[in-house]
Amino acid sequence: MSRILTAIRLNWALAVLVVAAGFFAARAFAQLPVFELAAGMYRIEAELAHTPQARQTGLMHRRSMPTQRGMIFVFTQDAQHCMWMRNTYLPLSVAFVDPEGRILNIEDMKPLTEDSHCAAGPARYALEMNQGWFAERGIGPGQMLRGLERLPPPR
């Protein structure tokens, strides 16, 4: 009987930990500042990843994201930055953007892979959106992202 009670207590404790972990993960996502950007006539609500921790975590562990929502990565220097999808469940498209706001290239990324997807040239930003978002709106290389000047500098 005491083994059953111990097993029940352990299962209950594990359930509480899982719920708490989900709560704190959701709070961490909600605490990222959101900035309005635009591509063509389309409005984007971009969560800001401008610190080392936010850039490292990105959209990991997320299971869904609203259509107009994305994440803008602000890098400390212009370079041929690369992205991967470790622990990322959402299929994403990433637009690499130069310091003036011009899209250099857009890459589709498969969930839970470690394939590198790199900028075609020196990029200052990377904008991740749900996969197909750019293509469905006819947005491609050479087009400008607006609103980047309002972003805080990277740390």
Encode the chain (155 residues) as per-residue pLDDT tens digits.
555 545 455 444 444 343 344 444 444 444 899 999 999 999 999 999 999 999 999 999 999 999 999 999 999 999 999 999 999 999 999 999 999 999 999 999 999 999 999 999 999 999 999 999 999 999 999 999 999 999 999 99
Tell me: do 25 and 37 sit in the same domain: no
Tell me: do 5 and 43 sit in the same domain: no
- 49 alpha carbon, distance to own chain's centre: 8
Tell me: do 88 and 141 sit in the same domain: yes
Tell me: do 126 and 86 sit in the same domain: yes
Q: What is the pTM of this model?
A: 0.81
Q: Token digits for 58?
A: 């990105």
Which domain range does residue 3 map to? Answer: 1-31
In angstroms, rounded to a whole number, what is the distance separating the alpha carbons of residues 85 and 83?
Answer: 7
The CATH number of whichever domain residue 108 belongs to comes to 2.60.120.1140
Tell me: do 26 and 37 sit in the same domain: no
Classify 42 as helix, strand or coil.
Answer: strand
Per-residue model confidence (pLDDT) at position 15: 44
Tell me: do 114 and 139 sit in the same domain: yes
Per-residue model confidence (pLDDT) at position 18: 39
> How many domains would you assign to the chain?
2
Partnered with residue 118 across adjacent β-strands are: 82
Tell me: do 59 and 2 sit in the same domain: no
Answer whether residue 155 is part of any domain: no
**Contact between 109 and 93 (Cβ < 8 Å):** yes
Tell me: do 47 and 25 sit in the same domain: no
Per-residue model confidence (pLDDT) at position 7: 47
DSSP structure class, residue 102: B
Closest-CA residue to 113 (of 88, 82, 81, 80): 88
